[in-house]
Amino acid sequence: MRTVDMSDYTVGEDAFDAIPETLAKFGAKKIVLAGGKRALAAAAPGITAAVADTDIVVTDTIVYGTDCTQDNIDRLVVAPAFQEADVVFAVGGGKAIDTVKTAASELNKIVFSVPTICSNCSAATAIAVVYNNDGSMSHYAFPPCPVHIFINPQVIAEAPEEYFWAGIGDALSKQPEVEYATSKDELDVTAELGLSLARTCSEPLFRWGEQGLADVRANHSSEAVKRIALDIVINTGYVSNLTNQPDFYYNSCVAHAFYNGSTGVVREGTFLHGQVVSFGVLVLFAYAGDEENLHRYAEFNKKLGLPVTLAEINLDESNLPDLQKFAENTNEWKQQKPEPMDAERFIEAIKTADAFGRTLLAE
């Protein structure tokens, strides 16, 4: 038996107006808002205003912390307002939403998500990335996906631009990773549906990415911002839920193996998930020997200012043995899709992607 859940969603500058009606479907009377400090400042006023003339009570607004760690998950689980709520609102970016989803799952709480930035697809997914306190990756958790997503493009447009930028970088990985991971298997209906939907993920980024990023830099909600937000949150999120099942995992492979491996390399600087993943996509194409897409995606990265070289994420070839060792402990490496990972080939692919990127930057 297989059960596949998908989040419903509401999108628009008036998205929060749908909250009371949506809560009524679950008989909810008490809600708690939990997420990032900046995210709650941006979204909580709109959420509380939407329920102001109802009998719904906001029991508390809780800042989750700054990273999705087991400590932060545990802290939410024991918070009285979190325990008492009928519905939990997960507000913020990926780490905030992952923390709230995972804590809520321990209490069997219904979750609504409110992505205030579009840095990844966490607002729609049944997976969460849990980190150690030192910032290295610990493990994946598998909470249920949020029941409903409220996407307000104006809130997203007014958020710091780097998250939208990194979200494009992360979303660029979905189609290539799923296509590559599934390339040697006979797929069942669910996986085939995930692959089909994955093939809708890259083109909106190429078409709307530059304009969307320009509009976010101007704090302007637009069709481009909405299209990119839906692609990052909904398209890639739905693909994640279809390709991440108990009996198979095609959701990510080489690009995220690179990212997850990089979290174990201590270095100066702070690098966003999608920022590093976007270079990992170039590594994937080099690993697969797909020169055409290596060139296409690298040129798009360059156009948006996403990294095309190791130096741009403060790595160099001396870091590669450590990065590779950390990558070997990741889910992506262990899944062996579409075939067992080869360490030497992986390192050579990183070097190939970096060499092409340096040539591109020199033009």
Give the pLDDT confidence score for residue 363 in this predicted structure: 83
Which is nearest to 363 in space by CA: 308, 322, 311? 308
Neighbours of 14 (CB within 10 A): 12
Give the pLDDT confidence score for residue 84 in this predicted structure: 95
Backbone φ and ψ of 31, nearest 5°: -130, 150
User: Residue 273 corresponds to which tokens in the numbers above?
Assistant: 């998930």
> Residue 118: pLDDT above 80?
yes
pLDDT-based confidence at 170, cuts 50/70/90? Answer: very high
> Residue 155: pLDDT above 90?
yes
Q: Where are the beta strands (DSSP E) in the chain?
A: 8-11, 30-35, 57-63, 87-92, 110-115, 128-131, 137-141, 148-151, 244-245, 248-249
E strand or H helix at 237:
helix 236-243
> Residue 1: pLDDT above 80?
no
pLDDT-based confidence at 135, cuts 50/70/90? Answer: confident
- Strands 248-249, 128-131: pairing is unpaired
Give the pLDDT confidence score for residue 137 in this predicted structure: 82
**pLDDT over 90 for what percent of the chain?**
90
3-state helix, strand, coil split of the chain in percent (to 5) is: 55, 15, 30
Whole-number mean pLDDT of the chain? 95
> Residue 324: pLDDT above 90?
yes
Cα 65 to Cα 147: distance, rounded to the nearest angstrom = 23
Give the pLDDT confidence score for residue 209 in this predicted structure: 97
> Residue 312: pLDDT above 80?
yes
pLDDT-based confidence at 2, cuts 50/70/90? Answer: confident
> DSSP letters of 106-125?
HTT-EEEEEESS-SSSGGG-
Give the pLDDT confidence score for residue 61 in this predicted structure: 96
Give the pLDDT confidence score for residue 215 in this predicted structure: 97
**Cβ-proximal residues to 116 (8 Å cutoff; 6+ apart), any chain:** 35, 36, 38, 39, 42, 43, 91, 92, 93, 155, 156, 159
162-171, 227-236, 331-340: least confidently modelled range: 331-340
- pLDDT, one tens digit per residue, over 259-282 is 999 999 999 999 999 999 999 999
User: Residue 124 corresponds to which tokens in the numbers above?
Assistant: 């729609």
Cα 123 to Cα 96: distance, rounded to the nearest angstrom = 10
> Residue 212: pLDDT above 80?
yes
DSSP state of 143: P
**Cβ-proximal residues to 3 (8 Å cutoff; 6+ apart), any chain:** none
